[in-house]
Amino acid sequence: MTARAPTVVVINAGSSSIKAAAYAEGPGALAAGALESAPRVDVQVDVAGDAFTATLEEVCDRLLEAVDPATVAAVGHRIVHGGTRYAAATVVTPQVQADLETLVPLAPLHQPYGLEGLRVAAARLPRALEVACFDTAFHRTCPPEAMRFALPRSLHEAGIQRYGFHGLSYESVVARMPTVCGGMPPRAIIAHLGAGASLCAIRDGRSIATTMGFTPLDGLVMATRCGSLDPGVILHLAEERGLSPAAIGTLLTRESGLLGVSGTSGDMRRLLESDDPRAHEAIDLFCYRAIREIGSLVAALGGLDAVVFTAGIGEHAPAIRSRIAGGLGWLGLTLDEHANTAAGPRISGAKSRVSAWVIPTDEQAVIAAATCRLLPTVRAGSVRG
């Protein structure tokens, strides 16, 4: 497929995969920032950390074989952490890039990859505008009490607070919910379950609470990340086990989660296929934590109308959806197992008091739309990188 006159290229550089897309400008798409119906070219590959830069370069080269680089007006990037400064899509300048570099310690599994995407794209498309789109921005609608730690005020004011992540995914799903669900459920929980996993409480289309906090380590059990942890464990590892900060960081981000509990894999597909009781333990813990955290978000919402599953596990693991939904029977949720096996989109039973859905996420479309919304301003000459 060859895309004619692409408007934007999107690079979504994650910790376990790289996704790239090129969107062609359609009638009204540029002004509206709505590109779901625009012609599109996609490239996606899994990636190992040591080969990241080479793989990213390969992905960009493959994408640019399908489009004319001279027609690319802008490149939109997924950047996981925007800190306190960046709450909306932003044209990347040297100052913006320097600011984002300072946030690498808060998202070591993600921020370096997004920034590498900026560098690789700039080398291949030096005349294109680069735009950073932030996973943290969606959660700026959360009330102050949902984003504060019980730490001294000076630390909060210095930026040590909850931010929340997976915002581009949540924004994508929220945009599709009115159509898929026949209207926007007033109180919903979206379960973004993948190598990284989190939950978000949505009231009237806006985030009011989420399970990830200061970094993408917090909350649910993930592929190699530990999720919520008593901070006393960190002190114990440092004081009694003699681990350095770097060693603790590696342990919590790359050696824990499903991989740490199972001892074999962080890949839910492999664990579901395994007969090893340790794999079953990892699955049990993953589901238990999700059910328990959903309960806390129900309390924050004051009730629940809908649960939506998305991302790799959420979209493709009916057994996990069934396990989690089974733990929510007290809310009146019942599954239609046939619909669940077929991945819905509606997977709840006809008499279920809470509806349940499977809605694929499309972070690339969200990034492309946000990037397009900035282009008229830039073309008018009021914003320059």
Catalytic residues: 135
Supply 195's token pair.
């190598």
Identify whether the C-beta of residue 73 lies closer than 8 Å to the C-beta of residue 128: yes
Cα end-to-end distance, the chain, whole Å: 31
User: Could you tell me which of 301, 344, 299 has the C-alpha nearest to residue 325?
Assistant: 344
Say how far apart CA 365 and CA 22 lie, in whole Å.
10
Phi, psi of 206 (to 5 degrees): -125, 145
Q: Could you tell me which residues come within 8 angstroms of residue 137 by beta carbon, excluding any fewer than 6 positions away?
A: 82, 86, 87, 88, 89, 167
Query: Helix, strand or coil for residue 144?
Result: helix
Distances (CA, A) of 61 to 1, 24, 215, 384: 15, 18, 32, 26
Strand partners, 74: 8, 129
Instruction: Return the DSSP state at 52.
Output: H
Rounded Cα distance between 220 and 228, Å, is 7
Could you give the CA distance from residue 359 to residue 65 in angstroms, rounded to a whole number?
31
Return the residue matching tokens 């919590």: 252
φ, ψ of residue 41 to 5 degrees: the values are -120, 135
Q: How many residues does the chain have?
A: 385
Q: Which residues lie across from 145 on neighbouring strands?
A: none
HEC-encoded secondary structure of 227-244: CCCCHHHHHHHHHCCCCC
